[in-house]
Amino acid sequence: MRAARALVPIAAILAAGVVYAACSAGGPSAQKGDASLSPAAQREIAQVEAEIDRIEASTLQRVAAPPDNQVQQVELLGKLLLYDKQLSVNRNEACTLCHMPETGFTGPVSELNRTTGSYPGSVRTRFSNRKPQTHSYAPLAPVLHFNRAQGDMVGGNFWDMRATGRRLGNPAAEQAQGPPTNPVEMGLPDSACAVYRASQRPYRGMFETVWGKQAFAIAWPRNVDQVCNTPGPPTAADPLPVHLSPLDRGRAAATFDQMAQSIAGYEASAEVTPFSSKYDAVQGGKAKFTAQEQAGYALFRGKARCNECHRDGGPGEEPMFTDFTASNIGTPANPRLPYYAENRPDAQGYAANPAGRSYVDGGVGVFLAGGAVLSRPSAVDARWAGQAAGNMGRVRVPTLRNVDKRPYPAFVKAYGHNGYFTSLKAIVHYYNTRDALPRCKANDPGEGKTCWPAPETTQNMNTSKMGRLGLTDAEEDAIVAFMKTLSDGFTPVG
């Protein structure tokens, strides 16, 4: 049976120089003090950055003659914002560094997916605690709410549902407001900095045409550049370091909302959310599954019980391959995450993870309890506090759309909230055998083959729908073959 890639101990990865990645091999994106990456990672990241620059330049050309339709103008603005490196503290990281189209708008760097699991921020020695999720289909998530009938929180964006959508009416818009001020992502110290940087960009005129001249009619303080060039987080004594009048602060907040709504508009467009997979073609009668794919679909809906959470639709439902709830499947901790080593203050005096190696990802429960998270784009509803304990350790069920979309067959994608798994086969095998195989011992060479590590946390672990499914190797392969039909960009033959 083909099985998961055995994990490499974090000490070995550190020794190999593939953790604490700089996002280029040099040039304008490199910054003094970057730790070294493996040559393979440097080359690949440079290629991704070059593609980001190419797409941004091509998209900027459309600003001279924008679409007449306002909805399409909003989509164009959203695309420009997603590909704009200037909106990060060191002007070196666009949102798309973690969300490129060739991978279904998730992590586009095979070497990072294979090694670190998470991606570096604008401050290149800071890494997130989780792998990037996909932007595809994100705007179709419902606003976060508690479904009393099923006893579940439903909706929101991010692994921990913290982009609730309650304020802007769209979780994807509120998700877009997280990374700019997240210290381990784009790293700005104040949301007003994103607005200030956008006011200096070539798309300013079109933004004002769509959203109004007041968008950037803000009296910026003389030190705004100095403040916005300083990595966050801000100090507790000065939480909004861009010092604006109350009126200008209100304008900046409204413009930041409009930036986020533009991004969500682009993510909802046919360019990002197209429903163009082979699965869709089959449902439309324009293609047929192979025998293996058909067998995998039957298993997906039957013996493997996949669609009990990764729903393929029902009456009045589009097949989103998620039920928008949260679950703890018992994913092992991923020792390759650089986040575990971020327990000491960095050059800016910031320690992202004071808990160090003892860190345990509490997922949705931490957000609902009002606990510390790296960014909080949405306020938690105090009425949800009673649901916190039942959601500790649980993370949002991701859509399986584009789960296998990759630029070439050997490209490595990461799976699970922490990127522990590095192949679809591995995670399907885990669902099948989590409770059938014994627990691994330290440095066990059979990891993923004859044993599995203990879950990162067993709180609220899903024990009723997975763990001992009794699938054969061929049945696992059939499920993988079916999931590969969920990649957008399929062209029917004939």
Render pLDDT for 318-358 as a digit per residue (tens, 0 to 9). Answer: 899 999 999 999 999 999 999 999 999 999 999 999 999 99
Please give the span between the terminal C-alpha atoms of the chain, in angstroms, as a whole number: 36
Confirm whether 466 is domain-assigned.
no
CB 411 within 8 A of CB 103: yes
Across the range 23-40, mean pLDDT stands at 43
Q: Concatenated DSSP letters for 320-379? A: -S--S-EEB--PBP-TT-GGGGTTS--TTS--S-TTGGG----THHHHHTT---S--SSP
Mean pLDDT is lowest, of 156-170, 261-275, 371-385, for 371-385
Using the 8-state DSSP alphabet, how is residue 91 labeled? S
Q: Kindly state the tokens that stand for 493.
A: 């033959």
CB 341 within 8 A of CB 27: no
Considering all CA atoms of the chain, what is the largest pairwise distance in Å, rounded to the nearest integer? 67
CB 209 within 8 A of CB 83: no
More confident residue, 145 or 31: 145
Residue with tokens 């097949």: 319
Interhelix angle 246-267/70-82, nearest 10 degrees: 100
Domain residue limits at 365: 10-273+353-396
CB 402 within 8 A of CB 486: yes
pLDDT > 70? residue 19: no
Render pLDDT for 88-123 as a digit per residue (tens, 0 to 9). Answer: 999 999 999 999 999 999 999 999 999 999 999 999
Please, which residues have CB within 8 angstroms of residue 168's CB and are 6 or more apart in sequence?
Answer: 174, 257, 260, 261
Confirm whether 106 is domain-assigned.
yes
Q: Is the dihedral of CA 441, 446, 451, 453 positive or negative?
A: positive
Please report, rounded to a whole number, the percentage of residues in the chain having pLDDT higher than 90.
Answer: 87
Residue with tokens 């590590």: 453
The chain-wide mean pLDDT, for the chain, equals 92
Q: Concatenated DSSP letters for 124-183? A: TT-B-SSPPPP-TTGGGSPPPEEETTTTEEE--BSTT--B--TTTS-HHHHHHTSGGG-T
In the chain, how many domains are there?
1
Confirm whether 315 is domain-assigned.
no
pLDDT > 60? residue 142: yes
Confirm whether 254 is domain-assigned.
yes
pLDDT > 90? residue 397: yes
CB 221 within 8 A of CB 238: no
Render pLDDT for 421-431 as a digit per residue (tens, 0 to 9). Answer: 999 999 999 99
Whole-angstrom CA distances from 59 to 65, 263, 438 are 11, 14, 52
Peptide bond preceding 233: is omega within 30 degrees of 0, i.e. cis? yes
CB 165 within 8 A of CB 156: yes
Residue 5 binned pLDDT confidence (cut-offs 50, 70, 90): very low
Residue 37 binned pLDDT confidence (cut-offs 50, 70, 90): low
Rounded Cα distance between 385 and 275, Å, is 36
Interhelix angle 246-267/204-211, nearest 10 degrees: 100
CB 158 within 8 A of CB 179: no
Rounded Cα distance between 192 and 197, Å, is 9
Confirm whether 104 is domain-assigned.
yes
Confirm whether 406 is domain-assigned.
no
Render pLDDT for 271-295 as a digit per residue (tens, 0 to 9). Answer: 999 999 999 999 999 999 999 999 9
Residues in the chain: 494
Q: Concatenated DSSP letters for 16-60? A: HT-SS--SSSSGGG--TTPPP--HHHHHHHHHHHHHHHHHHHHHH
More confident residue, 66 or 13: 66
Rounded Cα distance between 263 and 94, Å, is 13
Rounded Cα distance between 15 and 10, Å, is 9
SS3 106: strand
Confirm whether 424 is domain-assigned.
no
Domain with residue 161: its CATH number is 1.10.760.10
Strand-pair partners of 455: 332
Rounded Cα distance between 24 and 111, Å, is 13
Confirm whether 224 is domain-assigned.
yes
pLDDT > 90? residue 366: yes
CB 412 within 8 A of CB 422: yes
Across the range 183-196, mean pLDDT stands at 98
pLDDT > 60? residue 18: no
